[in-house]
Structure 1
């Protein structure tokens, strides 16, 4: 298939009578025909008597067909009942493709069904009838579709294999279809409407059916490096036997109050088959709040990931490999695990660097350049630099990322975990994670197909939290987060793009804001900054209730031309940064020194800001500029820009290049541990110092490494920090310092 063509089957009311079987009108009376389309949805396939699947050919704009024997991209439908309950025999429905076009029975019936309509009127309405009984229609049921204008039945010619039209006189074999339920998008009478790109699975559903849908989405997303699709899987509490493969812009999320409430036997995994074992570009994906019993890949879970990935609140009831061991030379460059438990061996393999935080590790094996362990139980031991392990016994201050769950009454809610100081291990090992519970009705559930900057800001202004469903949101201005304790929770790497040179989000200098699971993408018009936290530096303390960013990424270029002078500016005090990747793209579309312009990744002006897992890469000036006191960074990963055209373009104040990590001369206290800074230069240029700091006893750096990854002759990083540390060149490729 050449495109992703999910169809939306939307119920527009209950059909109480039989449509008049008359000739199609010559003209269409649309005055009162269009009805409001609510969004209670199920994801389904529609299969003919001969086992062919209905297909929205070309993803819309063409005829409905029935030639597929495997349900893949274009064969997936979304079934929606606007009555807020189960779909029942007699409901009136419409078919909509992912392109937004509706399936029309041309002339009201008697001919082709074509996806060309932009709104659901009379030609686009069909009555659904259950053929193997009465009442609600569910997985495995037989049904027919009839036009509401002429009463003719939707018919798969020759029972499938070619065209579909609306000319059947009665519901015979060619007019009979079988419903395959692939997952719920909410709206089953209890669940919220999370839209068509969220699949809500229940253990009572057929495992084969769920597996078919998982395979369909993964086949689309495995190589979809810079695509527009976004997906999230929700697993309600219970036991599943599945192989859940995670590709780009995909998240697998358990809905239990503990990770052990959802158990997947098989695997939840990400490999690097799409890139011949090289997982260094396995970005933008995650798994949360579930347990896994690995029975594949030699009974080991494979989590071969790099930047912008997350594993949170996961219990691996076995062993895990952090690289794709099925391939030789299978590099990986991640990653992040927090609030999790690994029962057996965790093998880092070829991972270049990794951070685990507040995790029970049991048996860590492997090392490469920079492995950091903060607040972990059973962290590995070793002496730097022979073992590149940086172990911080307890996590000074943290609260975990908010998460969605289903409560004891079966209602959706969001838990906001409590702040912890000097913590070790998980939040859930002795029971439910402590914290505040927000009911789902306190959230505005955002949809990319209907929300705008105006509607999102109106919801925020009214005191609503935001749950941002998977999709790409184009913004005409910045989202303004002004209320304390606001939760903004993205799903499936929901993406915000400011189209007109504004910020994407401004967070006021207030307590307790959480922004989690969002990708901020620079627009073609330069934004001075994509995210701000606090409008200006001040002395206001937020120590008791800090604001935080969790699993947040910023991207400049890659998907398209993008420009942003800086990605993130932190002016507020006591902010928590937990797994942040700021990336000026080095590959993809819209990439070049003068194309995806961006000077700095992050500027920190606030005091007592803590970062656990800070990844900053390829910016044209300082990657990280730290101006506030009391800063704390545990794990830092940075590649300096590849594409510096010449030394003259990258020199300031007589200094060659811009340090990756710059602490301002005015800073009197800072603590950074476990830093890896790597170089690839396409032209012969020099970086004098990877790190620059003031000379002050309370500005402390521990365990630093620079690595030469391959460059044009004459390129080098001369020093690790402040004129000390050996140079890295094509003769000396690794340099380490304890400072």
Structure 2
């Protein structure tokens, strides 16, 4: 993801300097495990409020120093705080998750600051990816925390006493807040787009292109296109992300929230969220070096999986066949399928929860990196849907990667809650014939609902939807930068490929708050005939759409949807359509 200026800002020289700096950083001390605590591997740090503050702070600083510029590094870390108060500065670098271990966010207080700044590549946060915070109560000493991020980040179950600034003054491109209470004002600054779901804010200041609220109290009302706010008052169906916690008796549990329907506000403010505690003893705890065979053996025995921070190569798909299975990653645990296999293969069963994982395409092309339900799945899961939370997919960037599709959803009723499906536009192994990928999200299941759909740079339709009654709340997209010429990037008689395509036979579909941008630096004469393609009928409805030609007109999007709206080109960069049809 870049902006006009940022297309040149993340240069090869900068990335090399970043890698050198990251490699030179002093590694953090080995993780220590207190008596009675589970062994969560070498990259999970569990802090207790009785610990010396200087020791906690120095460990946090060492983790950040190593991860600050390690955009494509292999370090993965989770920092967990037991209930209590901590006067520390928590600064999150790449592949770092910070979480409280209380039953409620207020159980863990950070009284200095919890923040992300634009210091990885100089001012600006366009590449501040792959990090997140959850289940914590920050009380910033200054009254304001900064969360200056872009894609593949999460800010969940946060009770912030104060204000939140979403940029550092430089470019920033988008992010995700869910199930959070922010008592002060949120300032979006330079963020191009943002989604806030099932939260409460004290106020909201600022906008650029595409700001979406779903089930969020005290948020601005819909005023798209000017200002470009889209507000959906109620969230139709959602399950919050499972999380690790320690109960009052000192027992470690994973809390699995219940499905919420027609909801707003947080799941926890009025009372403890509805759901079920699953003892950690019911989980197989995977540590770096674990094989797919080991993990599949645990799954076959009916175990859940807790995948601790690390990079895991998979010689076979992880087969999830039992209903209600939880697969929870810590610290952006990363799965790499080898030999062209699928990383995660979910049967057509009820209630599977997958959360907190990065799937990195391998060098041999996979048909799908994540598959939910085999082809032809048709069981109803209305009462107990499967869900994906903070599941990110990357094709290239950390090395050559190939995949036909990133996520394929064949099962009905699936919920996707925050995903970035990225064919890399920079890094290692990047090029039109190197990191090949047709489609980011392919949906044939019915009644699939997505919140926070970030999909970028794939080589055909970024999203292809043939299931009925699909719903998308927020879509952010950049078309590929690198088609060599127009002839190499056409869908039949249409110039270019759409960013979001609903199949001709679909009778019902609805989407809110969609943005697609072109930055066709390889050949600025290339045209995409439309960003959004869908049958024109009353049951297929789109709300609050925009297109933009970045870089002062690097390529053209001729129409926003079908033959309506536009163009976005060198003369008219931004085009908007309020509703369709």
Calculate the TM-score normalised by the size of structure 2. Answer: 0.94
Q: Indicate if the aligned counterparts of 2:359 and 2:369 stay in contact, CA closer than 8 A.
A: yes
Instruction: Verify: 1:668 aligned to 2:512, yes or no.
Output: no
Alignment map for 1:120-519 (pairs within 5 Å): 184=32, 186=33, 188-296=34-142, 299-325=143-169, 330-449=170-289, 451-519=290-358
Q: 1:593 aligns with which of 432, 440, 449?
A: 432
* 2:570 is the alignment partner of 1:726: no
SS of the residue aligned with 2:139?
strand
Residue 678 in structure 1 maps to residue 522 in structure 2: no
* Segments ≥4 residues shifted beyond 3 Å: 1-4
RMSD: 1.6
Q: Which runs of 5+ in 1 are unaligned?
A: 5-57, 60-71, 79-182
Does the Cα contact within 8 Å between 2:517 and 2:548 map onto a contact in 1? yes
Larger Rg: 1
| Post-superposition offset of 1:77 | 4.0
After superposition, what is the alpha-carbon deviation per residue over 1:349-396, rounded to whole angstroms, capped at 9, x for unaligned? 101000000000120111100000000111112522111111000000
Per-residue CA deviations over 1:567-586 (Å, capped at 9, x if unaligned) read 01000000000001100000
- What's the secondary structure of 1:501's corresponding residue? coil
- Per-residue CA deviations over 1:20-51 (Å, capped at 9, x if unaligned) read xxxxxxxxxxxxxxxxxxxxxxxxxxxxxxxx
Identify the residue that residue 704 of structure 1 maps to in structure 2.
Answer: 545
For 1:422 and 1:2, locate their aligned partners in 2 and report how far apart those are by CA, in whole Å.
Answer: 45
Q: Write the distance in 2 (CA, Å) between the matches of 1:391 and 1:313.
A: 20
Q: Give a deviation string over 1:234-259, Cα, whole Å, max 9, x none.
A: 00000000100000000100000000
- 2:371 is aligned, of 526, 529, 532, to 532
Specify which of 395, 410, 422 is matched with residue 583 of structure 1: 422
Residue in structure 2 matched with residue 547 of structure 1 by the alignment: 386
Q: Which residue is 1:162 aligned to? A: none
- Show CA shifts across 1:436-484 (max 9, x none): 11000000000113x1011000000000000000000001010000000
**8 Å contact 1:258–1:431 — kept in the other structure?**
no
Q: How far apart, CA to CA, are the structure 1 residues paired with 2:237 and 2:360?
A: 29
Distance 1:434 1:442 in 2: 20
Per-residue deviation, 1:538: 3.6
1:545 Cα offset (Å): 0.2
In 2, Cα distance between the equivalents of 1:302 and 1:666?
Answer: 45
Aligned residues: 560
Residue 537 of structure 1 deviates from its aligned partner by 2.8
Shift of 1:274: 2.2
Instruction: Please say if residues 681 and 710 of structure 1, whose CA atoms lie closer than 8 Å, have aligned partners that are also in contact.
Output: no
Note the alpha carbon deviations across 1:658-679, whole angstroms, 9 max, x for none. Answer: 1000000010000100001011
> SS in structure 2 opposite 1:459?
helix
> Any idea what SS the aligned residue of 1:362 has?
strand
CA distance in 1, matches of 2:96, 2:120: 15
| Structure 1 pair 3–374 and aligned structure 2 pair: CA distance change class (3 A) | closer
Distance 2:575 2:340 in 1: 40
> What SS does the aligned partner of 2:199 have?
coil
Whether the aligned pair in 1 keeps the contact of 2:416 and 2:450 (CA below 8 Å) is yes
In structure 1, what is the equivalent of residue 4 of structure 2?
A: none
Task: Between 426-435 and 487-496, report the one with greater CA deviation.
Answer: 426-435
Shift in Å, 1:564: 0.4
1:3 deviates by 9.8
SS at match of 1:723: coil
Partner of 1:43: none
Distance between the aligned counterparts of 1:2 and 1:531, measured in 2?
30
1:652, distance to aligned residue in structure 2 (A) = 2.5
User: What secondary structure sits across from 1:220 in the alignment?
Assistant: helix
Give the number of the structure with larger relative contact order, counting CA–CA contacts within 8 Å between residues 6 or more apart. 2
**Quick check: 1:638 aligned with 2:484?**
no
* Residue pair 1:3, 1:73 contacting (<8 A) in 2 also: no
Cα displacement (A) at 1:189: 2.6
Give, in whole Å, the separation in 2 of the partners of 1:355 and 1:311.
11
Q: Secondary structure at the match of 2:111?
A: strand
Name the SS of the counterpart of 2:88 in structure 1: strand
For structure 2, list consecutive stretches of 5 or more residues without a partner in the other structure: 1-16
Query: Residue 375 of structure 1 contacts residue 425 of structure 1 at CA under 8 Å; is this kept in 2?
Result: yes
CA contact (8 A) 2:479 2:519 kept: yes
Measured after TM superposition, the shift of residue 324 of structure 1 is 1.1
Contact 2:342 2:367 in 1 (8 A): yes
Aligned residue for 1:694? 535
User: Is the 1:680–1:711 Cα contact (8 Å) retained in structure 2?
Assistant: no
CA distance in 1, matches of 2:165, 2:29: 35
